[in-house]
Structure 1
Amino acid sequence: MRKFLLLLLLLFCCTPLFSQDTAFKYKGMTINLDEVVVKAKRIGFDVAGFIKRVEEDTTFYRAFKNLRLVGFTADNDIRVTDKKGGKTIASLKSHTRQIMTGNCRKMEVIDEKTTGNFYTKKGDYNYYTAELYANLFFTHGTVCGDEGGSSKGSLARHKNQLKQLIFNPGKPITGVPIVGNKVAIFDRDLMKYYDFSITSEAYTGTDCYVFSATMRKNLNSIDRAEIVINELITYFDKETMEIVGRKYSLSYKTMIFDFNVRMNVQMTKKDDLLLPALITYSGTWNVPLKKRETADFTAKFTEFKSEQ
């Protein structure tokens, strides 16, 4: 009986302490920790340092720019669908190869098949998603340096802002009206709308620390209008602390425009360069002077090579 009472006493004493350990405070943010992370924290895992790393990270966006620096083979699959996302109205499937010579790159089309009105009669892209995809992953002619081509002016600026919105979520975007500051989830004015957590999970065979920011449930319409990122989940290799994957959901709606986008990105490495290996995208856009556009794409990158 004494042993039983002692066990009960220990359970009642220790449970509150463990509960306190699972809630970590950082710059006004409360981060929930799972049991594995709590144990890691007790033996030296720097939770505050890890969060700061997440907050300041720019390697994810840089990984996409690194595609300008290596050769690779790509499987490209773009589908434009009807509003309900069921019927495909235009598509492209292709295999391409990027070849590096010094600081310059060019692209070979190994094979390509399109359906519907994917291209205009002049051979231009008929859809904004396709144009953005091409701007990111295709090269026309020979291009030198790590930029996307010769386009200049407001169109190039808007494309760059859109790429930052999609591939650098969580950071404010200068020059973008309405939504530019609504993506900065670490801002004190926005963090109150999110539930944050650090957990331990295997991702594509890699043991990871997982940082999650998820929009709180049951937000009223006024609060919901203040945010763009619904969910942001980032996977960090426990050994190297490098990003190995990210999942995220973005959406926003006004009287003028709206969008709803989900993406999943898996990373890989070539020598010291972090690079995307697989990207899946599903999204719908409705912007002024254009018809609503709903599209999915999958991009797979393999056979990375240094300059030839």
Structure 2
Amino acid sequence: MRKIILTLLVIPAISASAQDTARYKGMTVNLDEHVVKAKRIGFDVNGFIRRVEEDTTFYRAFKNLRIVGFTADNDIRITDKKGGKTIASLVSRTQQHMQNGCRSMQVISEKTTGNFYDRKGDYNYYTAELYANLFFTKGTVCGDESGPAKGSLARHRSQLKQLIFNPGKPITGVPVVGSKVAVFDRNLMRYYDFSVTSGTFAGTDCYVFGAVMKKNLNSIDRAEIVYDELITWFSKETMEIVGRRYSLSYKTLIFDFNVKMNVQMTKLDDLLLPAVITYDGTWNVPFKKRETAVFTARFSEFRN
């Protein structure tokens, strides 16, 4: 009798965790039981994945930082190769002000350690310079950036912005890895496990799209892709992105990198904006020393 009761208790648990799959443009997508139930009452899985693939709201959210005032808490730390010891850092609070379509930045407080700046007051580290280009404003800037990026650093900035703002899409002008970041490319899909599940992010009920590198890929197949994982949370109510987590890595004899990022979104009226960005990464590129850094950017007190 005891064995029969135990069996009855186990059967519901197994059926509750059962999964289903869907197809999208040659992609097999695993669905959890919550999405399966939603699918049965009208949730369009293919339409949702198409929305993920074609999404531009994430990119626009970062562009929106150029048209609003805000307060930013900036924490940038350059560490040793193992990521344990901080060798240079900046902790600051800044405010962006808008007037007549032009933006300027005020430094409220700032503290640095190590050789964060050189003798001329310029950034001593590539990560810091890129961070400043993304989130700091020097002088008064009207409008937005336009025209093709000129110069090596400008091109790298543009490519990094594509990587951050539009993950999963190919990056033009980047040799070797530019096409390897396109997780929706038919030639790359086979290297990933895709899923649509139900979850929460910062208290918001979400549909979660995941693209995770398959386990036990051989070295040849591993060299075909850059993203280890790309996870995005979409609000079930508005279908807007509320969070994203992604990690990417690649290694050759010439260069290598390993980067993890997390982004949490917020809103000002109808504008989608980044609220928190965390970065943990190491880069080793030709003609530069290996650079390992972590940073956190927190944006608040948004103002039209």
Q: TM-score range by the shorter chain?
A: over 0.9
Displacement of 1:158: 2.0
Change (3 A) 1:219 1:151: closer
- Runs of 4 or more, structure 1, over 6 Å off, are 148-151
What is the one-letter code of the residue matched to 1:103?
G
Does 2:79 align with 1:120?
no
Partner of 1:172: 170
SS, match of residue 188 in structure 1 = coil
Q: Using the TM superposition, give the Cα deviation of residue 156 of structure 1 relative to its aligned residue in structure 2, in angstroms.
A: 1.3
**Kept after mapping to 2: 8 A contact 1:143/1:149:** no
- Find the counterpart in structure 1 of residue 32 from structure 2: 34
CA distance in 2, matches of 1:64, 1:22: 35
Indicate yes or no: 2:15 matched with 1:48: no
Provide the rounded CA distance (Å) in 1 between the counterparts of 2:166 and 2:175: 17
- Classify the secondary structure of the residue corresponding to 1:189: coil
Q: Quick one: distance in 1 between partners of 2:283 and 2:64?
A: 27
1:1-308 aligned at under 5 Å gives the runs 22-147=20-145, 152-306=150-304
The superposition leaves residues 216-265 of structure 1 with CA deviations (integer Å, 9 ceiling, x where unpaired) of 00000000000000000000000100000000001111111111000010
Call closer, same or farther: CA 1:261–1:295 in 2, change over 3 Å: same
Relative to 1, partners in 2 of residues 1:212 and 1:151: Cα closer, same or farther, differing over 3 Å? closer
Letter aligned with residue 303 of structure 1: E
Q: Distance in 2 between matches of 1:79 and 1:128?
A: 12
Shift in Å at residue 149 of structure 1?
A: 12
- Contact 2:149–2:155 under 8 Å retained in 1: no
Question: In structure 1, how many angstroms separate the alpha carbons of the residues matched to 2:299 and 2:145?
Answer: 19
**Equivalents in 1 of 2:146, 2:159: separation in Å?**
13
Unmatched tracts of structure 2, length 5 or more: none
- C-alpha displacement at 1:160, in angstroms? 0.4
* Pairwise CA distance, 1:150: 12
Amino acid at match of 1:217: K
User: Does the Cα contact within 8 Å between 1:236 and 1:244 map onto a contact in 2?
Assistant: yes
Any idea what SS the aligned residue of 2:60 has?
helix
Asked if 1 retains the 8 angstrom alpha-carbon contact of 2:200 and 2:206, the reply is yes
Rounded Cα–Cα distance in structure 2 between residues aligned with 1:51 and 1:167: 18
In structure 2, the CA distance between the partners of 1:68 and 1:150, relative to structure 1 (3 Å rule), is: farther
Deviation for aligned residue 1:281 = 0.5
What one-letter code is carried by the residue in structure 2 that aligns with 1:281? Y
Do 2:282 and 2:293's aligned partners in 1 also have CA atoms closer than 8 Å?
yes
The separation in 1 between residues aligned to 2:103 and 2:269, in whole angstroms, is 19
Q: Under a length normalisation based on structure 1, what TM-score does the superposition of the two structures give?
A: 0.91
* Structure 1 position 155, deviation (Å): 2.4
C-alpha change, 1:124 and 1:151, in structure 2 (3 Å) is farther
**SS at 2:187 equivalent:** helix
CA contact (8 A) 1:31 1:198 kept: yes
Given the superposition, is the C-alpha separation of residues 29 and 141 from structure 1 closer, same or farther in structure 2, using an over 3 Å criterion? same
Is the 1:201–1:207 contact (alpha carbons within 8 Å) kept by the matching residues of 2?
yes
- Asked whether the 8 Å contact 1:198–1:210 carries over to 2, the reply is yes
Q: Deviations over 1:118-169 (max 9, x none)?
A: 0010110000100010000000100011229998434212210111112211
Kept after mapping to 1: 8 A contact 2:149/2:158: no
